[in-house]
Homo-oligomer: A and B are copies of this chain.
Amino acid sequence: MKITLKDVAELAGVSRSAVSRTFTEGASVSDKTRQKVEQAAHQLGYHPNALASGLSTGRTKLIGLISNNFHNPIFLEVFDRFTRGLQEYGFRPLIVNLTDETDPAQSIRLLRQYSVDGVVVASSTLPPSFVQAFHDAGLPVVHAFGRVVSDPDFHVIGIDNVDCGRLAARALVERGYRRIGFLGGPRFATSTQDRLVGFLEVAASLSEVSATQSFAEAYSFDAGRAEMLRLIRQETCLAEAYFCGDDILSIGAMSALESEGVAVPGEVGIIGLNDMEMARWHNIDLTTIHQPIGEIIMTTVELIVEILSTETCPPSVRLFPCPLVERGTLRPSQAISRSA
């Protein structure tokens, strides 16, 4: 049932080494031998065993993908792109679903056991120290959606969250909102912290603007809805507009506003972040900041592949710009209209 090197070698009348060499890039085999081998391999339906090959070369063409976002719809795109991207380069993903535990040790052990060639951490909520642990364990690692730290030991690909916070605040101010609110994801998430910094920075720089802040327990619909309900019921008065941690949170918040009879954008404006597919759905129509997820993942895949083929590759940071996408959950801009 199983066809091995040996079978092919025997049929082709050559040594096992010869067969191995015809299947490895850049090895020295004569055309004659190659022909015989290929013909025999084809006839037998032979394909090299990745495990055995991985054992002897130390390279498995497996890439670990670590994430904890499995409930956020943006993960669909992350995942689709990631698997397709790797497939194109002949790599396979080995997935680690972090669920609760945030101790990297266990994941490292697991990925080590399968001798993955590299690791991608795809999460905007895990701290750099988590990613660092993989680097320290000797695994090449890229942090997609990661936080920018000065002089990191690993590659980071993502967006400038502080700047997104600024952009959101400016967008609200430009549209005439004065009491603006930050409704972030979980406090511990680096993306939340960074976006808040940028948001407050802009607010603080404008004397007529006041900002409030609050945090949902997760980047999820339910958490967004719950937190907005709390605000509606507890706050003496709501902000005029909210920058929500991400789109799914925004949708949850909008759901709360709607149930409580608060009109969007009539009474309260909402701006999200991510621009996931749903944001443009007619019955959602969310004004948001576009995060180029596809490009981020593509670049991540390209980078990890490159790292593996070159000896050394100094840690890089690659940030993508995030444009504002105007839809229907903020009142129109009051800035002077520019001529086309």
Q: Which residues of A are at the interface with B, using a C-beta cutoff of 8 A?
A: 1, 47-52, 54-55, 60, 70-73, 75-76, 79-80, 83-84, 87, 92-97, 99, 109-110, 112-115, 138, 221, 225, 251, 254-256, 258-259, 277-278, 281-284
Contacts and interface: CB of A to CB of B under 8 A. Distances in A.
14 contacts: A47-B112, A49-B55, A50-B114, A50-B115, A51-B54, A55-B55, A73-B76, A80-B97, A83-B95, A94-B94, A221-B277, A225-B282, A251-B283, A255-B282
A113 B60 CA distance: 11
A122 to B, nearest CB: 13
A256 B96 CA distance: 38
A95 B95 contact: yes
B254 A113 contact: no
Contact of A109 (B47, B221, B254): B47
Contact of A49 (B96, B115, B284): B115
Contacts of A60: 51
A51 B115 contact: yes
Contacts of A99: 84
Q: How many copies does the complex hold?
A: 2
A136 to B, nearest CB: 12
Given A84-B97, A92-B95, A251-B281, 14 more contacts: A47-B112, A49-B115, A70-B76, A73-B73, A83-B96, A87-B97, A92-B94, A92-B110, A93-B95, A221-B277, A221-B281, A251-B283, A254-B283, A256-B282
Contacts of A94: 92-94
Contacts of A55: 49, 51-52, 55
Contacts of A282: 225, 255-256, 258-259
Contacts of A76: 70-73, 75-76
A129 B134 CA distance: 42
A289 to B, nearest CB: 21
A133 to B, nearest CB: 14
Contact of A70 (B54, B79, B255, B283): B79
A113 B258 contact: no
A256 B138 CA distance: 52
Contacts of A95: 83, 92-93, 95
Given A76-B70, A80-B97, A258 B281 contact: no
Nearest to A60: B51
A112 B281 CA distance: 41
Given A51-B51, A115-B49, A1 B138 contact: yes
A60 B50 CA distance: 12
A70 B75 contact: no
Nearest to A282: B255
Contact of A48 (B113, B258, B283): B113
Nearest 7 CB-CB pairings of A with B: A83-B97, A70-B80, A255-B282, A50-B113, A50-B114, A51-B51, A51-B55
Nearest to A109: B47
A307 to B, nearest CB: 18
A276 B73 CA distance: 12
